Amino acid sequence: MSDSGVSRPDTTDAWADLRLTTQARIGLGRAGNSLPSHRVLEFRAAHAAARDAVHDPLDVESFVATIAGCGLGDPVVVTSKASSRGEYLRRPDLGRLPDDLSSVPSTNADIGIVLADGLSPRALVDHAEGLVLALKEALSERFSIAPPVIATQARVALGDHVAEALGVQTLVVAIGERPGLSVADSLGIYLTHRARPGCSDADRNCISNIHPPDGQSYATAARITASLVDGARRLGRSGVSLKDTSRAEITAATAPVIESA
């Protein structure tokens, strides 16, 4: 109640603290039978960002220069059989097939890294460099890594053809994930041991939501990838049979040693 005797609404935002812990749209409030105007505008802005992330093509020339600076060799660029961004979105099957792999060298390296634009080329622009550097730090001391391959208009399965051409044992595909109304620039990693054309999703392990500072960090994603590579090499396969044990390994390494009397 104000001094004038007129009741005023409680402006305390009970959701404020919870909203800091999630990117989900919670506690948006109400204006009559609708949302407050600023929440509607936020939604429309997020929707526009998601649409832009899907439709804006990758600036390949600039991206090649960025990845070349990571020190894993000169990147190779390949594309799928989808001739345009529009066809890529309409024909997922074409995004899984390479157009021409003649530029891909046969390396017989342990690890191959494919950087695919996927459904969010923006995710590569924002996060691929940091992720590649983290993967290099986590893997290069123990494994040989082939020069990176940049794949445009690409789906995950295109990487299987690239892995066969490279001759690598384990394939790491970092791809732009489908944008949502909370995140438009998230990267995902799909790891496949002994990748070959015809592999299914059951043959892969996925590490998603890579988009610091709000999502998973590059270092964490690289650590999980390294753990999965180790496990895949011991097991001889990846996918549903392979589990991430990186957190348990950290716990074991940092646990105090209790000596018996």
Binding site for adenosylcob(III)alamin: residue ranges? 156, 177, 206
- Quickly list H helices, 72-176: 85-90, 92-95, 121-139, 158-166
Q: Where is the binding site, in residues? A: 156, 177, 206
Instruction: Check whether the bond before 36 is cis (ω within 30° of 0).
Output: no
Give the tokens for residue 20: 């800091």
Reference 195, options 112, 82, 80; nearest CA is 112
| DSSP-derived 3-state class of residue 134 | helix
Alpha carbon distances (Å) from 7 to 1, 11, 249, 250: 5, 12, 59, 56
Q: Which secondary structure element, helix H or strand E, spans residue 250, and what is its range?
A: helix 246-254
